[in-house]
Structure 1
Amino acid sequence: MAREGKFTKDDLYKATNHLLLQHGYAGFHFGLLAKKLDISRAALYKYFDNKDELITEYMEFEMERFMQELEKIKKYPHFEDQLDYLLGVIFKYSKIHQILSMVFQIPKSDHPKVNETLEQLEYQHGKMYTYLNNFIQLGKSEKLLKLEFPNRLILGFIFQTVNIPNYSKLPEQEWKNLMIQFLRHGMFVERS
């Protein structure tokens, strides 16, 4: 029997993360979440009016954590060091990237808190792009990246490479090293 409702924010966010990854935005609902937390649905409605309020709050929390780490990229003066750091951060938050992309599925709302949080997420996304754009510009200024490739194309490849499933079941560090090698050198062997 579901209890009325003691849960921590950490418990709530872990369960939300798990269910969003398992069921997606459309399949996520308070019934599933209440069952996962072993609480009543009414306990959730004490804190959130609807799933969009919870999901956007959770997304904002994760985006802030990601941005705190991304801001540290400035500590590295050279592109290759920034690339290594960035890939580490992206790998660490690879599942969060999937969840944050669900923001586009959330419909416009009459709920002021949801709209406010969506605006904050949009602002954070713009801030993230500024950091990443500066990162790409550094690579181009150091003559390590081809000038003819648009910044968004390069960033897209970086983010999508990290999302490739490790079907080979290689150890995580070995998989990361292969991704870094692929991004740095491509798939062609060097010709002599």
Structure 2
Amino acid sequence: MGRKAVYTETELLDATEKLLLTYGYDGFHLKLLSEHVNGARSTIYQYYANKEEVIAACLRRAMHRIMKKIEVIDETDSRQAIFDTLRAYIEESKLHQILSASNKVDTTQSDHALADMTFVKEGHTILKEQLMRIMLQAQQQGILRSDVDSLAVASVFFTFVNAPNMLGVTNEEWTHILFNMWLHGVGQQ
């Protein structure tokens, strides 16, 4: 009998994230995960008890990643803060797709899944509050139109975040292009 290959928790969560992006919550299962990591399915159970726990841990990690990028943004210059926020979201552009699984995770069977999903929900609230705070400040400073509801402004902002980079430029270049289009529009004055 051959020796079992072992993988790290990070490798397990990396594979989970890729599979969620490819197959979604409904198409994800532990057998599929074990086929995409170098090791036996039993190794998964050394880290997580079930599908819900591994997905919840993956979602928590994704939320933590974006929160680390967002928490360091200096909000004193709202124009720069909007740009930096856009850049962070573009760097994590798959976050929205990954987090779409959050409303499907059954937290009733696992305290670990419940804790992770609570973190995700609280993180979402923090991110939303920060973005709205920056948008409102930008409206008060005359950087953004004050006659447009800030929720509508934020909705368009996220439409830009989800725009595919069909030019194939770097994230930094793509952020500049989208920021300028979002801030100034594409029509001629």
- TM-score normalized by structure 1? 0.88
- 1:5, 1:115 → 2: CA distance? 30
1:170 to 163, 168, 184: 168
Output the aligned Cα RMSD: 2.0
- 2:81, 2:187 → 1: CA distance? 24
Structure 1 contact 70–89 (Cα < 8 Å) conserved: yes
Letter in 2 for 1:154: V
The count of aligned residue pairs is: 188
Structure 1 residues 34 and 3, CA gap change in structure 2 (3 angstroms)? farther
What is aligned with 2:31? 31
Structure 1 runs of 4+ aligned residues shifted over 6 Å read: none
- 1:117, 1:2 → 2: CA distance? 35
Structure 1 residues 92 and 2, CA gap change in structure 2 (3 angstroms)? farther
- 2:95, 2:25 → 1: CA distance? 13
Structure 1 contact 71–131 (Cα < 8 Å) conserved: no
Structure 2 contact 13–57 (Cα < 8 Å) conserved: no
Structure 1 residues 139 and 7, CA gap change in structure 2 (3 angstroms)? same
What is aligned with 1:42? 42
Consecutive unaligned residues in structure 2, runs of 5 or more? none
Structure 2 contact 29–51 (Cα < 8 Å) conserved: yes
Structure 2 contact 70–85 (Cα < 8 Å) conserved: yes
Q: 1:89: how far off?
A: 0.4
Note the alpha carbon deviations across 1:13-34, whole angstroms, 9 max, x for none. 2111111111111111111111
Consecutive unaligned residues in structure 1, runs of 5 or more? none
Q: 1:181: how far off?
A: 1.7
Q: 1:97: how far off?
A: 2.5
2:17 pairs with 1:17: yes
